[in-house]
Amino acid sequence: MPGNQPCKDGCVCQKHSIEWREAVRKRNTGRQLSAITRERIGNALRNPTEETRQKMRAGRTVEVRKRVSQCLKGRRPSIETRERLSKAKKGRRLSVETRKRIGENNVGMRGQYHSFETRQKMREAARALWQNPDWARKTSLARGCRPNRAELRLGAIIGSLGFGYVGDGQLIIGGKCPDFWNGYHKLVELYGDYWHRGDDPQERVTWLRRYGYDCVVVWEHELADPEEIKRRVQVFCEQGGR
């Protein structure tokens, strides 16, 4: 305490002892804060003063972060909590100072490379997540995916045939997010000449067919002939029903 004055609990240390903090924790376990107190704490956290921010940053030492990490290991927040956190963060932009600070804290990872086994595990974990339609849809929507220039051009060509853009996560099929959908069982995928170089379009066609969807793939360089694309997609729509 400032001036080494004892607090009401008899503590005269600048920082409370572990025993004292454990006693306080036990005493407060199960206590419910009033609505006014929760609101006051919420306002303080949402709009902290610069002095408060500095104190909070000073308290986040490496040791503290490790202890917090150990305490949270294995714990998963409830669905309600995750929804609340998602809504609270939606639309918020990090300040330049915050982004810089995050970069400085992550400096230890710069230049680091994961082993092949680790990368394989990460890929498998990501694939498993994308197999969950709800997770995949929410993730795509959260990213704010919008059609790029090539997709806008293709959309203008095939829009009159009933195809709409769904590459923002509106439709997830087997962990895949197709580009255009006619609302039934026909899909159109756009393959960029750079990003999909070396890819075999038939693999995507075969994959989507497993889920009852027919697909035709259009390459980016083919956009130079919009009439041919429209004719090709028209023929595709007439084959095998909608």
pLDDT tens-digit series, residues 1-42: 444 444 554 454 456 777 888 888 888 888 888 888 888 888
Mean per-residue pLDDT, 156-179 = 91
| Confidence category of residue 133, pLDDT binned at 50, 70, 90 | confident
Residues 6+ apart with CB under 8 A from 154: 179, 180, 188, 190, 218, 223, 229
pLDDT value at 210 more than 90: yes
What integer pLDDT is reported at residue 39 of this predicted model? 84
What integer pLDDT is reported at residue 2 of this predicted model? 44
As a whole number of Å, the end-to-end CA separation of the chain is 75
CATH numbers and ranges of domains, the chain: 113-242 (3.40.960.10)
pLDDT value at 168 more than 80: yes
Mean per-residue pLDDT, 217-228 = 96
Tokens representing 42 are: 């919420």
What integer pLDDT is reported at residue 70 of this predicted model? 81
| Spatial separation of the C-alpha atoms in residues 190 and 154, rounded to whole Å | 8
